[in-house]
Each structure stands twice: as structure tokens, then as C-alpha cells.
Structure 1
Amino acid sequence: MFTEEECNSIANLVSQNDWKKVNKFENDKYCITQFSSSLHNSDYHCYKVESGDKVVVVKITSESEFLILELLKKDGLPVPTPFKFLNFNENNKEGYLFEEYIDGSQLGLNSSKEAWLNTAVQLAEMHLKYWEFNSVSSMFDNGNSLYMSKIDIILSNSYVEQKWPNLIEKILEKLHQTPRTIIHGDAFPSNFLVQNDKIVLIDFGNCTILPYVVDIARLTYLPYDVNSFFCPNKEEVLDVYYEKVKSQLQISKDEFIIHVKMAAFIEIAKEYRNPICNYTGLSISQSPFDKFMSEILEELAKDLI
């Protein structure tokens, strides 16, 4: 691992470089490469730092992520080892997280079925580890705030409320009754690294305590396009997850799937909108969110209304 002085030097180099113009910086001691975001081309302040035979990941994030990684690593979960946190903003406790570099490929459409199933197993094992977990620690506040902001957006969606009256409230009430645990909070495929079909979980900036089903719903129900999901083995992934947690749930597979669909609704409903139609009444363009959310809502309406 790098020394305190080296960590400060690396942090200075990261802060001084204009990453909007270049994604790589080199001098006589360090090679720093910015990781690219796989979603929405958003700014992703995460970097691979190499110096001789030493490699580390540096991420601009909150101190909470460092503390969460410490907790998960201590409890034996497959996450990067957190080495150090350098605070640069006392007000919001943001800074530079130095963590272990994991040499693996992102989970994706081309990953093996075994990798997808193992991801479901790892999520289930993390959830079971902290089943009905209670904590007043502020390290979970960021993820909880992000989740509540999704709900606020959904509640303000007048189109959904007009088409499915009171359904949102019923979904939220039902989810509130499900078991809670520590969740990853952003179970997008790129946040799981594959090493010979073994899975390492990364990027815990949204980690919080929420209904157990939030992660597996996001992993399996995010649409890739209007005809398919990011998860190519959705039914089998859900089966594997359910088999791991069913002894704690004590509900049927059908009831579990309702939980999944409710959580999927929360995860992507903020993207759902009234389809734009041309003069013939046909939809001009339909995003994958529109198609799948309509199907999910129709199914939930049958079960909950």
C-alpha cells in the first residue's frame, strides 16, 4: 500500500488534473487512469493508480463508503479492502477513498450464466448476514436519501396516479412490511466484478438499509432495450436468490415475485412517463422503461387492487 505522503500526492494529482479533457495522467512516478461510467455517460470520479508494482483504486466519495467497506470486509464479504480515507470536506465528509484494485471483468450480457447465478448467491448471502439489521449509524444516510428521492419523484407522477389510482401507496405500504437488511443500493451489473465466475461487489456509495428485495429487483428488472433486460438469465437468477433466502422469508415463490416487482417498480418508475403519441394515436417512441413499467404495473394492479 502507498505511504501517507504518497496518498496525499496522489490525491493532489487527481484534484489538479482536468479529467473532462483527458482520462489518463502520467508522470515519472504515477500512472492514473479514470474509470469510465457505464451508465448515462455520467461523471465517475474513480481512478486506477499505478506506481511500479503497486496498484490501488482511488475514488472521490463519502467517508460512509469507507466505513461500510470496513464493516463488510470485517464480516468476510467479497468486497475490495479499504486502505485509507483522506477527508477534503469536513462539512459533508467527502474525500478520497483508497481501496484494493480488483482485476476482474464487469458482469454483463456476455458473462456466463454461472457468473450471474453466483451474483445472486452473493447478494443473498450479504442480505442474510444482516437480515432485520437495525442501525442508527449515519453511514447509511446517503443511500437512504437517494432511495427516498426516487419515491418523491414517483409520488409526483400524475400519469401513473391517474391510470392506477392508489397503487403507489399500496406498493409502498407492502414494501414497508417486508424484511429489511443492508443492501448494496446500486445493484447494476457493472458493480459486480467477475474473476473466474467468482463475484466481487464494488461501489457501495448507495449502500443503506432497505427492504431485502431492492437489490435483486434492480439486478434482474433493469431493461436493456424494449425487448430484453440487462440480466439474460432473469428467471434462473431469481430462483437461485429465492432458494437462498426462503427459509427467512417463509413465503411462497409467487409472493416473492410480487415483492420483486414492487421493488422493480420503485427502482425504475421515475423514468416512466406518459407515452408521446402522434396524430394516429400510436406511440412515436417508447423507451424500455415505458414498456416494462407498463407491464409491471398492470401485473401489480391485479395482485394489489
Structure 2
Amino acid sequence: MLNKSHEQMTCQPIWIDDPSDYKELEILCHKIKPELHLIKIGYYYDHSEPEGRTYDVYQLITKEGTYVLKRTKRKEATIYENFLGACDFAVPHLLGYIEEQDTTWILLEHIQGRDLKQFNESIALACARELTKIFNTYWQEHNFEVTKLDDRFEQYWERINRRRQCLKELPQLKEAYDLFLARQRTCPRTLCNGDLLQCNALYNEDNVTFIDWAFGGIMPYALDIARLIAHGAEVDDPFYMTDDLRMLFLENVYKQLVRTHLSYEQFIWDIKLACLNECIEFIEQELLNPDKERDHYFDYYLKRANLLAKDLLINQYDTR
């Protein structure tokens, strides 16, 4: 259910044996970085879905090193250029990009590591440390229009308001979701990955690298935090995370935010609101389409959404 496109999966690439099959990719690669001497190319394939899924993401073995070539949209290259290249963040380095027939191809540093599906204490601490480095650099608490760096919030705002329509028959969830919507206008903003699932980061030797910035931009800070912690179950789920690990991660994020005036209570309230949005996102299509098949994941997220909604409505935080 949580399979999302990302440039470096922890599965091994499937290597292309016939050089003629990757001639086009070789040409693209040389347009971006002419000095590379290709040895072999492999494409990433996700075996976890029932029918499998092939991505336009390729690992390149060259005499000069190992790289990743990814088909994406221009805005991802822009995120790397305008935001991620400014500091020594825990992200792959962008080596270059090219636009071909309305498609953007980016060439990235290859990062070794495994994803975060089996969350542990070391991962929680590394995630908090590296994520707050990004948050602190672009943190905004007011005057959003004056300090505006991109148009990502407007896209996000439109999307979450459309999502509200799926709750028209669920008054408790709708009331709680309105609390979430009301807070998004005033919630502190920073650079967010926009899709920070546990499969979109890599862990290696106590370091975490955040990958797949196709949905990135300046958005409410709680978005990335909630997306990372909302989908891990203690048992019977490919994404593992205990409540103790969630709290360890949250406490360390809050302690390392150096540019905020948020109280810890407000911080936790913001995260709960964003977690509600996460749960509803993953049942949105079923709620909009009553004839759509509903599986145990639907039940899982609906139950979590209802528990969050009840908590939020009973323990409302005064943001005035």
C-alpha cells in the first residue's frame, strides 16, 4: 500500500544485459555528465506489489563511480538547486539534469543504505538530527507572504481542501479535520520533503539520507514529521515503529528546533493534526468511491483516524 516512487530502493537493481537496450539512457547520461564511462545500468523494480512495478530510476555503474539517473519533473531539480544545494544536508548530491521532450532527468549521487521500515533508536535519533538541520535553515513562523520562497503551500492548501470532501458523511472526522485545516494557515513552515515515508530515506552507519524530493517545497513543518511516524505499526505491518520510538523521535526533533517559539504542547498538537491528515489521505479514495474494495488497511487507517479525531476534539489546544 505504501509503495511510492523513489530514486534508490533498498532492493538490488535488475541489470540490463544488452547494451543496446540502454543506449538512450547512455546518451542522456552523457548529455548531463559527458566524462562518465558507463560499465552497466540497472533499473529498480519493486517486488512488494502483487504485480510488481518498474520505475524510471536507474543505477549507473561507471568507471568514475556509482550514480542514480531518475526521470522526474522539473520542480525536483529546482528543489535541489534552490534549497538542498545551499547547505550540507543529508540528501544525495545533484550532479546535473537535462530536459528532454517535457521530461526532466536528474543525475544524483548514489547512496548506500537500507530504508527505515524497521525503525530503531539509532534511526530515530539520526532522523531527528538531520531533519532539524533542514527545518532550522528554512524555518518561518509568520509573514509567510513576505518571506515566501515558492508556491508549494498553495498547491498543498488546494489539495487538503479537496480531501475534506471525502468526510461529508463522517461528522466527527470532518469536525476534527476542520481543526487541521484551520491550523495550516498559521502553522510554521519550512522546507519539507512532502513524501517522507520510511521508504524515502536510507540508513547507513548511524546516518540517514532523505531521498525523493519530487513533492518537496515550503509547507507546514508537521507534514514531514507526521508522514514518517503515522504509518508504522508495532506488529503485522511492513513498516515497523513502536510508540516509544515515535516519542523518542518527536522529543529530539523538538529539542533541536532552534528557531521556534512553539511550546511542546503546541508542537504535539500540530503533529496529531497532521497525523489525522495522513490517515485520511490513505482512505480518501475508498471514502469517495463507496464501491471501491476496502481491505484491512482501510480498516486500520479509519480506526486510527477516529481515535485521533476523538482525542483532538476532546483535548483541543487553544492556538490564539
TM-score calculated relative to the size of structure 2 = 0.73
Equivalent position to 1:129, from 116, 134, 137: 137
Aligned-partner Cα distance in 2 for 1:304–1:197 = 37
Which stretch shows the higher mean deviation, 222-231 or 53-62?
Answer: 222-231
Equivalent position to 1:105, from 85, 103, 114: 114
- Secondary structure class of the residue paired with 2:262: coil
Aligned-partner Cα distance in 1 for 2:193–2:161 = 18
Per the alignment, residue 117 of structure 1 pairs with 125
Deviation at 1:42, TM superposition (A): 5.4
Q: Deviations over 1:62-121 (max 9, x none)?
A: 12212212331232212111112111134xxx3211111112222221x54112211122
Equivalent position to 1:231, from 236, 241, 244: 241
Identity %: 20
Call closer, same or farther: CA 1:38–1:254 in 2, change over 3 Å.
Answer: farther
- Structure 1 contact 221–230 (Cα < 8 Å) conserved: no
Per the alignment, residue 74 of structure 2 pairs with 63
- Secondary structure class of the residue paired with 2:85: helix
Equivalent position to 1:292, from 298, 304, 308: 304
Aligned-partner Cα distance in 2 for 1:293–1:159 = 14
- Secondary structure class of the residue paired with 2:42: strand
Is structure 2 residue 236 aligned with structure 1 residue 201?
A: no
Per the alignment, residue 5 of structure 2 pairs with none
Aligned-partner Cα distance in 1 for 2:114–2:26 = 24
- Secondary structure class of the residue paired with 1:99: strand
Q: Deviations over 1:227-284 (max 9, x none)?
A: 7764331111111111112x5333332221111011111223123367xxxxxxxx99
- Structure 1 contact 114–197 (Cα < 8 Å) conserved: yes
One-letter code aligned to 2:167: N
- Structure 2 contact 79–217 (Cα < 8 Å) conserved: no
- Structure 1 contact 80–100 (Cα < 8 Å) conserved: yes
Aligned-partner Cα distance in 1 for 2:56–2:74 = 15
One-letter code aligned to 1:260: I
- Secondary structure class of the residue paired with 1:60: strand
- Secondary structure class of the residue paired with 1:77: coil
Equivalent position to 2:89, from 77, 80, 96: 77
Per the alignment, residue 61 of structure 2 pairs with 50
Aligned-partner Cα distance in 1 for 2:67–2:61 = 7
- Structure 1 contact 63–85 (Cα < 8 Å) conserved: no
Q: Deviations over 1:156-195 (max 9, x none)?
A: 32233x2345332222112321111111111111221112
Equivalent position to 2:175, from 153, 162, 166: 166
- Structure 1 contact 63–95 (Cα < 8 Å) conserved: yes
One-letter code aligned to 1:159: E
Per the alignment, residue 221 of structure 2 pairs with 212
Is structure 2 residue 194 aligned with structure 1 residue 185?
A: yes
One-letter code aligned to 1:77: F
Is structure 2 residue 160 aligned with structure 1 residue 153?
A: no
The number of residue pairs the alignment matches comes to: 269
- Secondary structure class of the residue paired with 1:86: strand
Aligned-partner Cα distance in 1 for 2:121–2:236 = 19
Which stretch shows the higher mean deviation, 47-56 or 209-218?
Answer: 47-56
Aligned-partner Cα distance in 2 for 1:51–1:14 = 11
Deviation at 1:50, TM superposition (A): 1.2
Q: What stretches of structure 1 of length at least 5 have no aligned partner?
A: 1-8, 17-27, 275-282
TM-score calculated relative to the size of structure 1 = 0.76
